[in-house]
Structure 1
């Protein structure tokens, strides 16, 4: 792995994580904040493919699981982001995705990641919430992520593409 790519990936995840846990709680909608870390994983997946995004998703998920004010069992976001990295990375195998395809990937990834996180919470009873509450969180999360995607993904995708343009999954 290219050390510059790894450094920039850690930097992007760290910046997204800091914004997500420190700034965005002030703009939470119905208690749900945008998941910038998920958007970084999706951007990496679309440009670099599933393998890189799964590793990045695991690392980003562990960081998000351990970042204050985490109130859940550690590992739930890591699991969700590994799956998101794999699914979003499969988009890169079908040539250059259109803007609509990328937004659809963000919506599907947000739904999948948030649902996996919520379902793992139901299984672990962590925290005990009702199904309608979880569905509301999933819907609000998808809306947040799709609204912020046009602002975040072009930056993330351009960064990952410029590091090694000859090895990018999307040319």
Structure 2
């Protein structure tokens, strides 16, 4: 990943995690907790693609695993967000522009349900049965509902910031200078070069004609 991607992703992930732990987790909503970190990963994955989404998801999940008050095994949420970021990056639009909000909203619902199922499945493998006591059905419904309600305020802004960070002024100036160099060199070789060549050929022809004319005059004098 490029430096601007790393800096932006790190800043957004840290801010999202702080807000989720300090604000959203304290709302005591029924069922699941709105997953701002998941929405951040989705927004970045829809711009950076599957590789960038997987890397961002793994880093965000690992940070959430290590940040207090985490009470689960380290690496559990990192695995979940890594897979979610990879899958979300696969549906990245080729043009980079979204034609409608239907696609991203479907991605949010699928990611909310899929991350909850994966988190519960990994927990069952390591002996964590908390999802059974809360009720997996209510967790799935509330997770999808909360994330879907929060997504319009988060995902478009994240994607806009990511696209803006992709427009590197230094890279643009470098590419513009390269294009100007190509154009100028092409203009010199295709335009002025040919003119100079034709002028040189014309001068050579004129010089040859002048020499022939002088030779003819000299021979004429000798014949006289």
Count of aligned pairs? 166
- Residue 59 of structure 1 corresponds to 59
Q: Shift of the alpha carbon at 1:52?
A: 0.3
Determine if contact 1:54/1:86 at 8 Å carries over to the other structure. Answer: yes
- Residue 2 of structure 1 corresponds to 2
Written as runs of structure 1 = structure 2, the 5 A alignment for 1:10-159 is 10-93=10-93, 95=95, 96-97=97-98, 98-130=100-132, 133-159=135-161
Q: Deviations over 1:2-40 (max 9, x none)?
A: 212211100000000000111112223215221111001
Determine if contact 2:62/2:74 at 8 Å carries over to the other structure. Answer: yes
Give the superposed CA RMSD: 1.8
* Change over 3 Å in CA distance of 1:153–1:93 after alignment to 2: closer
- Segments of structure 1 that go 5 or more residues without pairing to the other structure are 167-171
State the distance in 1 between where 2:129 and 2:115 align.
17
Q: Shift of the alpha carbon at 1:131?
A: 7.3
Determine if contact 2:50/2:85 at 8 Å carries over to the other structure. Answer: yes
State the distance in 1 between where 2:133 and 2:113 align.
15
Q: What secondary structure is seen at the aligned counterpart in 1 of 2:23?
A: helix
Q: What secondary structure is seen at the aligned counterpart in 1 of 2:92?
A: helix
State the distance in 2 between where 1:28 and 1:160 align.
31
* Change over 3 Å in CA distance of 1:17–1:133 after alignment to 2: same
Q: What secondary structure is seen at the aligned counterpart in 2 of 1:92?
A: coil
Q: Shift of the alpha carbon at 1:135?
A: 2.5
State the distance in 2 between where 1:155 and 1:73 align.
32
Determine if contact 2:31/2:142 at 8 Å carries over to the other structure. Answer: no
Higher relative contact order (CA 8 A, sep 6+): 1
Determine if contact 2:116/2:140 at 8 Å carries over to the other structure. Answer: yes
Runs of 4 or more, structure 1, over 4 Å off, are none
